[in-house]
Amino acid sequence: MKILLFLVTLTQLALANQIDWSGGYRFEYLEIDRPSLGTPYARKGYGMHFLYLSPKLIVSDGIQVVTRFDVMGNSSSSYNSYLGTVWGEGNKNTTAANSNVMGRNSTSSAIRASQMYFNLSQENASLILGRAPFEFGIGMSYSVGDGLFDHWNSNRDQISYKMLVDNMILMPFISRHHDDGYAQGNLVQDEGFLVLYDNKQTGNQIGIMLERRKASLSANDAPVGSITTNLSSIADSVQGDYSVQKTNFILGKDWDSLSFRLEAGFNSGDMGLIKNGQSVKSTGYGIASEWNFRTSGSWNYALKTGVASGDNPDTTDYEGFQFDRNYDVAFLMFNHRLGTFDTLRTAAIRDTTLTAGNSPDDEAISNAFYFAPVFKYRWNDKLDLNQTIAWGQLMVSPLAGGTASKELGFEYDIELNYKLREKVMWSNQLGFMFPGAAFKSETIPGSENNFTFGFASKIGLQF
């Protein structure tokens, strides 16, 4: 009896302490010859490494607490990202006692937690409480960042309740994007719901997500002011509450040799801002589509094409729409900053203290139509060769009163992926960019549209 009791206690203990670990590691090296496309030259060259460990604490049947620790995350960047630490951090500062040239070691880095949430799963529903990843559709607006080389995430402090009925998902959610403290009010909050039909057998998918972001006047920190002192500025001043509705649709269908996905997003509402004495409405939109053609041979084809509206500097309303930064169609275009001015009108979401030659891949698809066919060659089980041709066209002139060219030009990329071992990928990219006249302006000295190229070599694994 005693032994039995002991055994029972032991199993309970074991259950209560079960932790499932998952995680990922990556090392990347990258150079881009002339991201400015003009003068100054601003060549980029950096390595970056990163590790994340995610323990899932299984408290009891259906109750979990999930955490994610980012080891060597990017501590110097203003972005709360999954960018790694720049390889070669040194002593971080250069007082006499800390001189890098005299130094013999590197600094140690703080481990940061990017997720922590409680998950209660029932038979047909689950509750999520805490800071958890948020996703929708093909990742045009929200991307959890679980790709091997993803640098960005959409973690949110949320309460969401997901109900599952056959192939239907219904999910109301609230996420608090900002709360200034213990007092009531003074918030930035998202409120919304999602309805999705997702049939994994047929690949049929149709859904809608409605969400309203609200901020009180005192919490409305949209970038405003003079554009000459604040490059991110989208209006003259803050005047009231922010209340913008975001509506996203997803549509998907799989056939034998073709799969198709389309996501569209629309913004509408009052931003609580004043520009030229008038209130500023958010009216941006974006559409992304993906076509995957499968054959039985070694060659397969894909196409990514879509559009994102861009803010017209000559109008009062804010027409800007930016895709999630994980959503890439090319290695350079829409991924790394190019040119000497804000051609894609993304400064409103960028760290403007960084420059084209000294920034990570923090550009996003915005103010453009793009068309990017991909030609995939499967050499063998371990080796893949992908070639992409990406072509882009601006939606509006990025400069006030501008009648400049809308030609973004085109890019040719080659990507060689080699599966070193099970779970371990070595990826090599080469990109050649032939920029269009959109990068050039008579009024901006140094702006040109010279040819540029870049390469990256990266190793990544997930477990």
Q: Which of 135, 146, 179, 241 binds Ca ion (CB under 5 A)?
A: 179
Number of residues that bind Ca ion (CB under 5 A): 8
> Minimum distance from CB of 236 to Ca ion (Å)?
12
Site membership for Ca ion, residue 312 (CB under 5 A): yes
Nearer Cβ to Ca ion (143/205):
143
Collapsing DSSP states into helix, strand and coil, what is residue 10? Answer: helix
Minimum CB distance to Ca ion smaller for 50 or for 205: 50
3-state secondary structure of 25: strand
Give the Cα separation of 31 and 193 in Å (integer).
42
Least distance in angstroms from the C-beta of 159 to Ca ion:
15
By CB under 5 A, name the one of 33, 324, 328, 342 that touches Ca ion. 328
Give the residue with the Cβ less far from Ca ion, 179 or 198: 179
Instruction: Write the single-letter amino acid at 10.
Output: L
Least distance in Å: CB of 361 to Ca ion?
A: 5
**Judged by CB under 5 A, which stretch of 7-15, 156-164, 353-361, 418-426 contacts Ca ion?**
353-361
**Per-residue tokens: 51:** 């590790």
- Residue 26 is a binding residue for Ca ion (CB under 5 A): no
Contact 40, 357 (CB under 8 A): yes
Let me know if 95 is exposed, middle or buried by CB neighbors in 10 A (0-12, 13-18, 19+): exposed
Q: Using CB under 5 A, pick the residue from 67, 189, 289, 315 that binds Ca ion.
A: 315
H or E element in which residue 417 lies: strand 407-421
Q: Tokens at residue 121, please?
A: 């799963």
Nearer to Ca ion by C-beta: 233 or 449? 233
Amino acid residing at 217: L
Restricted to residues 259-288, the positions that interact with Ca ion (CB under 5 A) are none
Smallest distance, Ca ion to C-beta of residue 405, A: 20
Q: How far is the CB of 316 from Ca ion (least distance, A)?
A: 6
3-state SS track over 341-405: CCCCCCHHHCCCCCECCECCCCCCCCCEEEEEEEEEEECCCCEEEEEEEEEEEECCCCCCCCCCC
Give the whole-angstrom CA distance, residue 281 versus residue 385: 45
Token match 């003074």: residue?
Answer: 186
Residue 246 in contact with residue 211, Cβ under 8 Å? Answer: yes
Instruction: Kindly state whether residue 114 participates in binding Ca ion, applying the rule CB under 5 A.
Output: no
Q: Phi/psi at 7 (nearest 5 deg)?
A: -65, -40
CB of 259 to Ca ion, least distance (A): 22
Cβ–Cβ < 8 Å for 28, 458: yes
* CA dist., res. 266 & res. 279, Å (int): 19
Residue nearest to Ca ion (CB): 315
Q: Rule CB under 5 A: say whether 150 interacts with Ca ion.
A: no
- By C-beta, is 263 or 328 nearer to Ca ion? 328
Cis-peptide, bond into residue 313, ω within 30° of zero: no
Query: Is residue 335 a contact residue for Ca ion (CB under 5 A)?
Result: yes
CB of 279 to Ca ion, least distance (A): 13
- Smallest gap from residue 31 Cβ to Ca ion (A): 17
Q: Binding to Ca ion by residue 325, rule CB under 5 A?
A: yes
Region near Ca ion per CB under 5 A, out of 4-12, 134-142, 312-320, 377-385: 312-320
> Considering the complex, what minimum distance in angstroms separates the CB of residue 315 from Ca ion?
4
Task: Please state the length of the chain.
Answer: 463
Instruction: Kindly tell me which residue out of 33, 311, 324, 411 binds Ca ion, with binding defined by CB under 5 A.
Output: 311
Site string for Ca ion, 356-395 (x = CB under 5 A): -----x----------------------------------
Longest dimension (CA), the chain: 90
Taking the least distance from each CB to Ca ion, the nearer of 20 and 314 is: 314
Which helix (H) or strand (E) covers residue 12, if one does? helix 2-16
Stretch touching Ca ion by CB under 5 A, among 79-87, 114-122, 314-322, 409-417: 314-322
190 vs 361, beta carbon nearer Ca ion: 361
Closer to Ca ion by Cβ: residue 55 or 313: 313
Task: Give whichever of 259 and 315 is closer to Ca ion, judged by the CB atom.
Answer: 315
Per DSSP, the residues of 252-280 read: EEE-SSEEEEEEEEEEEEEEEEEETTEEE
d(CA 360, CA 77) in angstroms, rounded, equals: 9
In angstroms, what is the minimal distance from the CB of 241 to Ca ion?
Answer: 16
Least Å from the CB of residue 243 to Ca ion: 18
How many Cα atoms within 13 Å fall on the side-chain side of residue 219? 19
Residues that bind Ca ion (CB under 5 A): 179, 311-312, 315, 325, 328, 335, 361
